Structure 1
Amino acid sequence: MFESPVQEGWRYWIRWQVPVCGLTIAIPCVFAVKFIRKSMAEPLLLSDLWATHWRHLSPLWLLLYRAFAFVCCVQLLYEIVALHGPFVFFFYTQWTMALVAIYFALGTIVSAYGFWYPSRKTQSKNEEDVKLMEKPLKNNGDRVKVDTIKVQNKYAEQEFQEKAGYLGTLMQMTYLAAAGASVLTDVVFWCLLVPFLLGENFQVSLLIGSIHALNAVFLLGDTALNSLSFPLGGFAYFVAFGGLYIAFQWTVHMCCVNWWPYPFLELSTPWAPLWYIGLAVIHVPCYGIYALIVKTKYSLLPRLFPHAFVRSF
């Protein structure tokens, strides 16, 4: 039986396993942060965040879907906190659900902005422009005016496709991180914990099952509707999120907590480095699974719905 970090004090943190495990997590996180700082400088169009790939589907439906998913995620978090207290946020599952809720909150805001603001801003002007262009041209002055209107409309369209800014970038980051985190959470729960630990001391209630399923279900529904890209480089956000969770666990154990929510986080066992290496490696297939789903979306849906699904804009 290994002693807890609180019982051993500072001696717990001078084991040889600690720096090895720390470097196993820190090195990927350093590269992830460098990539994130570089990627934030790349342009991101607002239409990529709120538009859909479905030809006859109004972006309003994506807005409503994101608002509904946000409310459901918050409700699930509220119910589990009300039942077990804030202690549940020691678990990665609640971190994942909170991240999914943040994504849908940002997505709702951005979708609302993309749906309402540009259309209201240009609607009245475009109606006047169309009426003028429908009139017969009487002289060169009218022709020049029409050409000017076309140029103005071009600039209006460019403005409509303006850069998303920090809010849109944050939305994209949470989307990529939440996708990988949801796969990791659900695969570990349904493929490892439920088959091997289900018994008198571990039962799956409707609430627990919902939290370990609806996070991915809501994201997959959003993926089927949205126009967001899913680059392989987005893996950096997933890595940074995992590193943040490990840093949180280590910090609270240094201060007062004498219990690990997951046995593989224990540092006093000689097998700790292997567990941490495995924890780092498993992020790759989890992110890859979701990337494969997105790739399948762009290859399969155009064949199934050739007249409804637009592969690219």
Structure 2
Amino acid sequence: MASELAWYDLVCYGIVGVTSVGSLSVLWMHEGASKRELGPLDETLLLGGVSSSTKLWNSCWPGMHPFWLLLMRFLSFLTLAVFLTLDVREYDVSIFVYYTEWTFTLVMIYFALGTIISAHGCWQYINKPPLENGEMDLFLRRDLEESMPKNPIAYKDKEMKGSIRLQSQYIEEEFKQRVGFWGYVMQITYQTSAGAVILTDIVFWCVIVPFLSISHFKLNMLMGAMHSLNAIFLLLDTALNNLPFPWFRVAYFVLWSCGYIIFQWIIHACGFTWWPYPFLELDTPWAPIWYLCLAVVHIPCYGLYSLIVKAKYMILLRFFPRELFRI
């Protein structure tokens, strides 16, 4: 970095600052407003406007057992962990100066959370929890019949139905509370990863590989895998999962990238000498244009993934009756 701040440095700082504040404002208006309208229980389960814990671990495809989504997520996590380990062994921990490794790790965290939550969901499914398999009334009725005395005069049918309803609500709230915070984090990680994967892979394959010559850059099979497996596994998960994709969550994606840029500024202020991506350099009058383009490109990247999600549901509507699939 230059010893003195130039006007274009200040403009770049302003672009990142305004973008960060704007993203936080979007989250406050949409995410925060939605939470304030809900109760304490539903607030912890806000799934892009849908309060349903089963969407975290159920597939959108009719008749598909949640075990297959669990298996896919576990194998994806395992594969990504292996390749990230190989990447660190090849280049040491300094490889994390690249946005690719940040995104790759984020995708791996999503699959780790998804594996845990899917495992819990499969446990519920196997044990046939009354909430999800239509056996709530039968389960509670048997419990009441075993516990109450054999005196038909003491208990009327109306009272039993009222007790069943109360216990049903209690058990339903207990199941929902188990999802809570981690289900919310899982969604944000998924939606942030979606935009970041599109940005990372497009910039790598369409800009860096064909046009930029970097002394630190040498294309090999490991690097190619790091810039393709993240998208492949995430797209496969998207094809199977039932997670929503609200537009305003693009703000998390933008904040993720702003965090990476601020990280680059900090390490360069501390003496780091080279930029992993030439378009992040500040010591050039063209820097504001690059930074502005980077800010704008987040919208089409997130929008492209949103179109992929919509296309999936269009395919579902075409091949299955609406009442069969889980949307």
**What is the rounded CA distance, in whole Å, between the counterparts of 1:228 and 1:241 in structure 2?**
20
Cα RMSD (Å) of the superposition?
A: 3.1
Q: Residue 116 in 1 paired to residue 127 in 2?
A: no
What's the CA shift for 1:196? 2.9
Aligned to 2:263: 248
What's the TM-score, normalizing by structure 1? Answer: 0.85
What's the CA shift for 1:19? 1.2
Unaligned runs of at least 5 residues, structure 2: 36-42, 47-51, 146-150
**What is the rounded CA distance, in whole Å, between the counterparts of 1:264 and 1:132 in structure 2?**
66
Aligned to 2:309: 294
What's the CA shift for 1:100? 0.3
Deviations 1:78-136 (A, max 9, x none): 001100111111111111101101111111122222332586594798775476899xx
Q: How do residues 133-152 of structure 1 correspond to structure 2 at under 5 angstroms?
A: 141=155, 143-144=157-158, 147-148=161-162, 150-151=164-165, 152=167
Q: Secondary structure at the match of 1:88?
A: helix
Number of equivalenced pairs: 301
Aligned to 2:148: none
Task: State, as a whole percentage, how many aligned pairs show the same letter.
Answer: 43
**What is the rounded CA distance, in whole Å, between the counterparts of 1:266 and 1:74 in structure 2?**
31
Q: How do residues 118-133 of structure 1 correspond to structure 2 at under 5 angstroms?
A: 120=127, 122=129, 128-129=139-140
* Residues 240, 202 of structure 1: alpha-carbon distance in 2 compared, 3 angstrom cutoff: closer
Aligned to 1:26: 17
* Residues 225, 57 of structure 1: alpha-carbon distance in 2 compared, 3 angstrom cutoff: same
Greater displacement, 155-164 / 76-85: 155-164
Q: Residue 170 in 1 paired to residue 185 in 2?
A: yes
What's the CA shift for 1:305? 4.0
Deviations 1:222-281 (A, max 9, x none): 111111110100100000000000000000000010100011111111111101101111
Q: Secondary structure at the match of 2:219?
A: coil
Deviations 1:178-231 (A, max 9, x none): 000000011111222233348998553221111111111111111111111101
Q: Secondary structure at the match of 1:282?
A: helix
* Residues 204, 149 of structure 1: alpha-carbon distance in 2 compared, 3 angstrom cutoff: farther
Aligned to 2:272: 257
2:53 to 20, 38, 46: 46
* Residues 274, 114 of structure 1: alpha-carbon distance in 2 compared, 3 angstrom cutoff: same
Q: Secondary structure at the match of 1:32?
A: helix
**What is the rounded CA distance, in whole Å, between the counterparts of 1:245 and 1:30 in structure 2?**
16
Q: Secondary structure at the match of 2:325?
A: coil
1:221 to 236, 248, 268: 236
Unaligned runs of at least 5 residues, structure 1: none
Aligned to 1:55: 62
* Residues 307, 285 of structure 1: alpha-carbon distance in 2 compared, 3 angstrom cutoff: closer
Q: Residue 15 in 1 paired to residue 22 in 2?
A: no
Instruction: Say if 2:26 and 2:251, in contact at 8 Å, map to a contact too.
Output: yes
Amino acid at match of 2:287: A
Instruction: Say if 1:46 and 1:162, in contact at 8 Å, map to a contact too.
Output: no
What's the CA shift for 1:159? 4.1
Aligned to 1:208: 223
Instruction: Say if 1:88 and 1:94, in contact at 8 Å, map to a contact too.
Output: yes
Instruction: Say if 2:136 and 2:168, in contact at 8 Å, map to a contact too.
Output: no
What's the CA shift for 1:75? 1.0
* Residues 52, 145 of structure 1: alpha-carbon distance in 2 compared, 3 angstrom cutoff: farther
